[in-house]
Amino acid sequence: MIPGGVDAHVHMQLDTGTMVSSDSFESGTIAAAHGGTTTIIDFSEQRLGGQVLTAFEKRFAEAESQCVIDWGLHQVLGGVDAQALIDTRSLVEREGVASIKLFMTYPGRLYSDDGQILRALQMCADTGMMAMVHAENGLAIDVLIEQAIAAGNTGPEFHSLTRPPELEAEAVHRAAVLARVAGNAPLYIVHLSSSHALREVVEARSRGTNIFAETCPQYLHLSLEEHLGQGWPNGAGFICSTPLRSRHDHHQADLWEGLRIDQLAVVSTDHCPFCLREQKLANGEAFNVVPNGIGGVEHRMDLVYQGVVAGHINEERWVEVCATAPARLFGLGSKGVLAEGFDADVVIYDPNATSVLSAKTHHMNLDYSAYEGLSVQGGVRTVLSRGEVIVDKGSFLGRVGRGKYLRRDVSRHIR
């Protein structure tokens, strides 16, 4: 018996401007529940020229009517200006939004320059909000993408080759420096994928930086060669950012070790599914026009448990990175622990169960599985959310809209 999982990084029905990710809040949270996750945190996204409060109200309404498990929202700042910062501060008091997300990549869409990031980090240092950062050097990456396309290098593998680990590491280093200059703002590196970036987190922490990092199941189990290297069409299903890394460079071993010794604090999914034929390939066979994202919210607990089976981490650490740590870091004071005073979010987990992951059996609204054919040991038997049985022996027993919005507390960040 373990506490319900907390997935602090998901994107349900994400509108890219040209298409919407395939899991709605309803289908995505049902899938999460089947996998033992009882809390998600999604994102309200302010884009360039948009208003923070308007974006939040729209996203809140979408989630409130559909979620079957408890949920919260981070605030994405795609245009860091004075009004956006004022409005974001107001969300702390008004709505219990305890975290923002900034992008060092995607110029012209969500990108913030160093000055904008510094201003946002100063706000976080002042308020205690957690600053989540997508750390990749977007300006340099765009040059590499342009050069690859010009040379005719358009296959799925070039998505990874144009986003090298050195440019992830450089951005992590820069974000950490800016966080210290801002007054040691709480900093959380999302979807860390490489040994290079992990070394920068460790170095920053040795300098006293208030820095944390997550990785995701795809970086622990999938690789550039075996998955992006499949070519078209199947390779499109593995295009995500940060990208899958080479299996020859010890990234996976280093990430597992980072989880074991608390260099990495959390495993989230960055769940952002797009159906292969209708969405991933809708714009043609070139890596730069494929929507980024992998679905995995249903399988996170099982995929990380494989690290227990393999001896990479112990059961206590599995619970910590999948439930306790994300709840603590993101101010979910009633989640992540089985104890008096906490919500009765409970998972009965069978460590001896076996299954084979497949699109034929998963509950995500997705026509393929990134983990197709993977045999796993361990499986969810029963899931309770606030004391109510919502999954039992593979059957969903909850109801749409029962999920509760979670106001979060900025005071629970650990230093």
Instruction: Report the topology of domain 2-398.
Output: TIM Barrel (3.20.20)
Q: State the greatest distance between any 2 C-alpha atoms of the chain, in Å, as a whole number.
A: 61
Question: What pLDDT, on a 0 to 100 scale, did the predictor assign at position 410?
Answer: 84
Break the chain into its structural domains and give their ranges.
Answer: 2-398
Question: What pLDDT, on a 0 to 100 scale, did the predictor assign at position 131?
Answer: 98
Question: What pLDDT, on a 0 to 100 scale, did the predictor assign at position 50?
Answer: 85
Both structure tokens of 216: 């995701």
Both structure tokens of 336: 């992540």
What does pLDDT average to in each consecutive run of 10 residues of the chain (415 residues)? 99 96 99 99 90 96 98 95 95 96 95 97 97 99 99 98 99 99 98 99 98 99 97 98 96 99 98 98 97 98 99 98 98 96 98 98 98 98 98 97 95 54
Question: What pLDDT, on a 0 to 100 scale, did the predictor assign at position 413?
Answer: 55
Other C-beta atoms closer than 10 Å to the C-beta of 187 total: 28
| Residue at 281: amino acid letter | L
Q: Which long-range contacts (CB under 8 A, 24 or more apart) does 323-328 make?
A: 323/2, 323/3, 323/4, 323/5, 323/6, 324/3, 325/265, 325/266, 326/6, 326/7, 326/8, 326/41, 326/214, 326/265, 326/266, 326/268, 327/6, 327/39, 328/412, 328/414
Question: What pLDDT, on a 0 to 100 scale, did the predictor assign at position 414?
Answer: 52
CA pair distance 124, 130, nearest whole angstrom: 6
Q: Is the pTM above the cut of 0.95?
A: yes
